[in-house]
Amino acid sequence: MRPLSTSFDPADPGAPARRAAHEKLLGEVRSALAEAGTSRSAKALARHREQGKMTASERLDRLLDPGSPFLEIGGLAARGMYDGGVHKAGSFAGVGVIEGHTCVVQANDAMVKGGTIYPMGVKKALRLQAIAIENRLPFVSLVDSGGAFLPLQSEVFPDLDDGGRIFYNQARMSKLGIPQLCGVMGLCTAGAAYIPAMSDEVVQVRGTGAIFLAGPPLVRAATGEDVTPEDLGGAAMHTSVSGVSDMLAENDADAIDYLRRRVACLPQGGVAPSRSARAPLHDPDQLYDIVPTEPHQPYDIREVIGRIVDASEFEEFKPDYGPTLITGWAYIHGYLVGILGNNGPLFSECALKATHFIQLCDKRGIPLVFLQNVPGFVVGKAFERGGITKHGQQMVAAVSTCTVPKFTVIVGGSFGAGNYAMCGRAYSPRFLWMWPNAQISVMGGEQAARVLIDVQNAQRARSGLGPIGPEEEQAILVPILEHTRSEGNALHATANLWDDGIIEPHRTRDVLGLSIAAALHAPLRDGPEGFGVFRT
């Protein structure tokens, strides 16, 4: 492969302003992450210490191999929701390394609402299970939860994607042979009791770990029986009488050390890189000088590719056809991947090129990386007559039905059907990350406002009235622009778990490398090979 050249001039007078805009967004993300990780009440921490417990973050630090990489999932989930205090949707979680094994890990944070499960907590748990299932990764749970948050039980309990789905998934994971290990570090109440019950191996902490379908107050109310938590569901009872738990631990550290020993005994998975990793020739830190924070400002996506792939080498596919979509092959941390990146809107030629390229990668077993900065498919009479809808269908079908792992990074705008064609969340990328400058919506705010203005003018014309005036236009335009900015930015998206997290642009290469390595623990093809009907 040949290295990409760069047209970036360090003396570019626009570079400082672009860097400053990125640094402002990065500062907001870093501040939000710091708050989500550390904003806990002194009372909750004191209560934890009185019980001899580690915090959720301390438990993860002990569980994971020292100095190993960690891909946090949903670090800002539920940000700004409920009363603003359900940090990380109630758990520290992600993909990490335990005794050399890549695992999905989740630790309930009992200092956040007593570890009770909010609706976004359910969504986060289901996302973590999806990662484990798709990538065949062991799942390690550190449970310290009071069960469902009862005032919101209608949003937690009854539906297809509510709390019961967690246990359904546990059964499916067991059938697939995905190891599930559980440490019961605190309360494991009501539905949460099924997490250890459906795990392969369970260690429970004496004195603080308690598993029961109904706690002492509910037992008393339902049966009149007066019983202590330890007698009802303590570690000694469950390890010697009921058999729900397998090992009794004296404290959190003892339980975590046991879990590490058990993970060490699991069979090793994964696929080694096909060649040695090589750092990019072009400095990834220059991304802040090159990439505008506003998606409507153009730049060459090759400048991004050259700063995230090994040796900045890129073998481009069909470079002169459909030039607003860049396709080609490269290595990321030694793993061969196919890359699709946007240089503008998607034309028919782009869709056809993408369909061809995706088919080639799928047949050859090459994972796909999508770099989204897409305003959508091009529109207009000539393009409709040329079959843009049909050609877009082919690209969407190829993305939907290819069998190799897919990874998406939203590096700019992600609008309309462009989000779908470039493997948005609905198209099951193994991991989806956003840059702080990412924006996502059905269409840009100004376009949405212009559509509404046109609709109102058409209604007025049918009534014999003239078009609305400039002041009325502004009254429509300004609120829509503000709404689009507030609900289309990266912080709002990540709070709703539309992504797996916001990443810093200069770390994109490492995040993708870890994501690819995690995904290659699963069989390359999961399901029948082949594609559906591509309408011609």
In angstroms, the CA 293 to CA 302 distance is 17
pLDDT at residue 527 in the model = 65
Contact yes or no for 74/500 (Cβ under 8 A): yes
Cα separation, 3 vs 331, in Å, equals 11
For every residue of 149-170, DSSP letters joined together read: -GGGGGGTSSSTTSTHHHHHHH
Q: What is the pLDDT of residue 109?
A: 96
Give me 63's structure tokens: 């569980």
Residue 110 CA, chain-centre distance (Å), reads: 23
Inter-CA distances, 305 with 234, 281, 315, 333, 407, Å:
54, 11, 11, 13, 14
pLDDT tens-digit series, residues 373-399: 999 999 899 999 999 999 999 999 999
Q: Give the amino acid at 237.
A: M
**Segment 225-284, tens digit of pLDDT:** 999 999 999 999 999 999 999 999 999 999 999 999 999 999 998 999 999 999 999 999
User: Which two three-digit tokens encode residue 286?
Assistant: 């220059």
In contact, 196 and 154? CB cutoff 8 Å: no
Of 355, 392, 356, 398, residue with least CA distance to 374: 392
**Phi, psi values for residue 289, rounded to 5°:** -85, -25
Residue 150 has pLDDT above 90, yes or no: no
pTM over 0.95: no
pLDDT for residue 465 is more than 80: yes
Kindly state the greatest CA–CA separation across the chain.
84
Residue 445 scores a pLDDT above 70? no
Residues belonging to the chain: 536
Paired with 372 in beta bridges are 410
Give, in order, the Cα–Cα distances in Å from 533 to each of 319, 387, 428.
26, 16, 20
What phi and psi, each to the nearest 5 degrees, are found at residue 273?
Answer: -60, 150
Distance, in Å, from the CA atom of 251 to the CA atom of 246, rounded to the nearest integer, reads 15
**Tens digits of per-residue pLDDT, 169-205?**
999 999 999 999 999 999 998 878 999 999 999 999 9
**pLDDT confidence of residue 458:** 85
User: How far apart, in whole angstroms, are the C-alpha atoms of residue 225 and residue 210?
Assistant: 18
Reported as a single tens digit per residue, the pLDDT across 359-372 is 999 999 999 999 99
Tokens of 175: 């059938």
DSSP one-letter code for 377 = B
- Please enumerate in sequence order all residues whose Cβ is within 8 A of that of 169, keeping only pairs 6 or more positions apart, or say none: 126, 129, 130, 133
Query: Which tokens hold the place of 358?
Result: 């995706």
Please check whether residue 219 is in contact with residue 232, taking contact to mean a CB–CB distance below 8 angstroms. Answer: yes
Q: Which amino acid is at 224?
A: G
d(CA 252, CA 233): 17
Tokens of residue 413, six digits: 């705008």
* Sign of torsion over alpha carbons 184, 189, 194, 195: negative
Nearest to 373 by CA among 496, 505, 283, 479: 505
Whether 481 shows a pLDDT value over 90: the answer reads no
Q: Which residues pair with 205 in a beta bridge?
A: 249
d(C-alpha 85, C-alpha 102), whole Å = 30
Q: What is the pLDDT of residue 484?
A: 73
Coil, helix or strand for 18?
helix
Residue 253: burial class (beta carbons within 10 Å; 0-12, 13-18, 19+): middle
Average the pLDDT over each of 2-11, 56-65, 293-302, 444-453 and give the range with the smallest value: 444-453
445 vs 19, residue with greater confidence: 19
Average pLDDT rounded to a whole number, residues 328-357: 97
**Local structure of 107: helix, strand or coil:** strand
Neighbours of 2 (CB within 10 A): 10
Of 477, 469, 474, nearest to 444 by C-alpha is 477
Using alpha carbons only, give the angle 330, 328, 312 rounded to the nearest 5 degrees.
40
Q: What is residue 59's predicted lDDT score, i.e. its pLDDT? A: 98
Sequence-distant (≥ 6) Cβ neighbours of residue 312 within 8 angstroms: 3, 4, 280, 281, 282, 306
Per DSSP, 371 falls in state: E
Torsion of CA 363, 369, 373, 376, to 10 degrees: 30
Q: Which of 79, 134, 78, 132 is nearest to 106 (CA)?
A: 132
Spatial CA neighbour of 107 closest among 82, 159, 70 = 70
Backbone region of residue 365 per phi and psi (left: phi > 0; alpha: psi in -120 to 50; beta: other values): left
